Copies of this chain bind each other. A is one copy, B any other.
Amino acid sequence: MIVDADRFLQDLDHLRSFGAQGTGVVRPAYSDADIAARHWLATRMEDAGLTPAFDAMGNLFGLVDGPSLLLGSHSDSQPEGGWLDGALGVVAALEIARASREQGGPAVSVVSFQDEEGRFGVTTGSAVWSGQLSLDVADQLTDHSGVALGDARKAMASVAGAHVDPSRFTGFIEMHIEQGPALDQGGLQIGVVTDIVGIRDMKITFGGQQNHAGTTPMALRRDAFQAVSQFNAVLNDRFRNVVTPQTVWTIGHVTLHPNASSIVPGRATFSMQWRDADVPRLTQMEKIVRDTAIEVAEAGGFTVEFGDMLGLEPVAMDARLRGALELAAQRAAPNAWQTMPSGALHDATNVARLMPVAMVFVPSIDGISHDFAEDTERKDLVAGLSVLADAVSAL
């Protein structure tokens, strides 16, 4: 299959014009810019000989008759998003479906999922489509300003159609920017994803004793910030013998009470998140997190409370689809590709409940994403398109 790199880049540039702001885009789910972009994409699908179909969530499919491979990603953006996050995978899918039809190649359908960026939840559109989340429950989800998803999606009610039956698709491949620095720093063009890592995320609260910072001797304090700091230090040390270079863990949120310079903090709540592709390791880390927090609390006279744990399981990519991507990567970018886990969540995580999935990454310059500055070299975008097209041809 011969893809048209210029046509692909032109479509990508045109999609960038919806919600354009500086070098980035502001195109959150169900915004005017998001809906306009979806209507334009539907027209481009129709021009390519595909049948556009919106479902009740506003997920947009471009369908061929009969069984087909599904390619795509999402065209909504973060509140301040980059131009490629999601958009790249949708437009690459469009070009491959179009080229394939023109050249009598394999049957390829296209999808742009809705609200991957989680205005209302986490990968909301593909979660509903895949049956992870019921539409009734999803409709109750609200964004930061209190708007319910059920109200927001009314803006697309006039085009909303029936559920698209997943059984018509034989597999799903998503092309995406890496959103991290590994490919860029390694001077590589292509990453073939092995797994989408699993996540564990919970809030932990240490309770101490709020006190006057002038009159309370150090020896009598139960300073909740000191508990967090000590927990962090011990945890970093204990994780060393457990983790791989791909494992990550983060304390990204800390709230002290009352958070005043002259008051010994009486309470500290913080987020503890860790990600890995291996479930036993995620579980082992959880035990270390809990044991360490309890030990720090007991040693220092603190209370400790663990919040609900958010758990998303790792998803392994399908061996056949992944193998086709690896062969294609070796042809398109010999010695300039690698296999790698995806540290970020993607729609593919949800779609994996329904069918074999695989993913291919292109570099993010300086690893930047979810930022107007997000970008990828044009030659790397085209290399990614070639790999995807080549893999589809081989399947």
- Residues of A whose CB lies within 8 Å of any CB of B are 178-182, 185, 197, 199, 201, 211-220, 223, 225-226, 228-230, 232-233, 236, 243, 245-256, 259-265, 271, 273, 275, 342-345, 367, 369-370
Contact = CB atoms under 8 A, between A and B. Distances in A.
Contacts of A215: 178-181, 342-344, 367, 369
Given A179-B215, A219-B245, A263 B252 contact: yes
Nearest to A273: B261
Contacts of A180: 212, 214-217
B259 A213 contact: no
Q: Which of A226, A253, A370 has the most CB of B within 10 A?
A: A253
B218 A248 contact: yes
Given A217-B246, A219-B245, A262 B273 contact: yes
Contacts of A250: 213, 223, 261-264
Contact of A214 (B225, B255, B275): B275
Contacts of A182: 217
25 contacts: A179-B214, A179-B215, A180-B214, A180-B215, A180-B216, A181-B215, A185-B220, A211-B367, A212-B343, A212-B344, A214-B343, A214-B344, A215-B343, A215-B344, A215-B369, A218-B247, A218-B249, A225-B252, A225-B254, A230-B233, A250-B262, A252-B265, A253-B261, A254-B259, A261-B271
A273 B344 CA distance: 39
Contact of A232 (B229, B248, B271, B342): B229
A254 B252 CA distance: 12
A174 to B, nearest CB: 15
A348 to B, nearest CB: 14
A254 B233 CA distance: 17
A142 B3 CA distance: 66
A343 B249 CA distance: 39
A210 to B, nearest CB: 8
Q: Which of A182, A243, A252, A273 has the most CB of B within 10 A?
A: A252
B229 A252 contact: no
